[in-house]
Structure formats: structure tokens, C-alpha cells
Amino acid sequence: MSIGDDHRVAHQASTLARYIDLTWHPLVLQTAVTTAALDAFAAAALHVAPHTLPAYRAAFTHARRSSLHQLLNDAHLTELLMRLPSLLGQRILVVGDSISADALSWANLFRDLFTALHPHVHVTNNSLTGRTTGEGIAALANVLREAPTHVFIMLGVNDI
């Protein structure tokens, strides 16, 4: 394999890693699966060494923080978000597919934005790559047990 091939494989693995976060998945939560075991599984699926996944996640976090910084520097947007009625104790849940599951998705940036401006609001992204509308509706029974005050649903792309 050439250096160009190595770079292309690493880029593909990094892109795919954006969509692999099983730490919140109900099957994982019901078992004693460790983060290390999840990383070993994801690394095997991506054909990379497990130690590369934290570096990918750090890069995704850095990219989201950079976007967050740009949004927070938008005085008009920040003012609008700060004028929201009291959100004290609100629990916002996102249920979606890969569009929302992506580590760089709107849903994760939304969570980071609310964490920065309204730290008393809890935003949970319960999205899963490949999820269909039927699967999302079926998952609602489990996630509604957490008693969210608001639910954002973005599904349908995988129904086609």
C-alpha cells in the first residue's frame, strides 16, 4: 500500500468514526460493556488500531468547539438564545439517524451550544446511524422513560 493509500484509508476511517458512538445505545447501557471494549469493536470495524479512536474523537471535539466559538461570537444569535424563556431543568432529547448521530452534527453542536449558554439544560443526542423512522418510533418508548421536556425528531432518510 502506498502513502497515498494509507492516507485515504485513514481519512475513510476518520469519516466513519464520526458516526460510531455506541456509549448511549440501550444494548450497551443494559450490559457491562466498557468503553475499551466498544473502542476495540469500532477499531476492528474500521480496520484501525484502537488507540487511534481517541485521537479522532479529540479532532471532532476540536472541530465542534471551533464551530461553537464562531456561533458564540455571533452577538445576534447569542442574544436570541439568551432571551429564551427559563429553561431551568429542561431535558431536551434528539432522536435521529446519521444526520444527527455524526460527531460533527447539528445535534451535537446544539448540545454544545446549550451547554455553553444554558448549562442547566440537559441535551441528549440519542441518534443512531442507519435508523429508520420505524426504529426511531420503537426507540421512543425507552428514551421517554428519561422524561424529556422536549423531543426533536429527525428521521426518514433511511426509509427510502
Structural domain count of the chain: 1
- Label residue 9 by pLDDT band (50, 70, 90): low
Q: What are phi and psi of 92, to 5 degrees?
A: -100, 130
Residue 94's H or E segment, with its range, is strand 91-96
Containing structural domain, residue 39? 3-159
- The per-residue pLDDT for 26 is 62
- The per-residue pLDDT for 1 is 46
- The per-residue pLDDT for 27 is 67
User: Alpha-carbon distance 153 to 29, whole Å?
Assistant: 21
What does pLDDT average to over the chain? 83
Q: Which of 16, 150, 18 is nearest to 93 (CA)?
A: 150
User: Alpha-carbon distance 38 to 59, whole Å?
Assistant: 19
- Label residue 11 by pLDDT band (50, 70, 90): low
Helix (H, G, I), strand (E, B) or coil at 160: coil
**Rounded to two decimals, what is the model's pTM?**
0.76
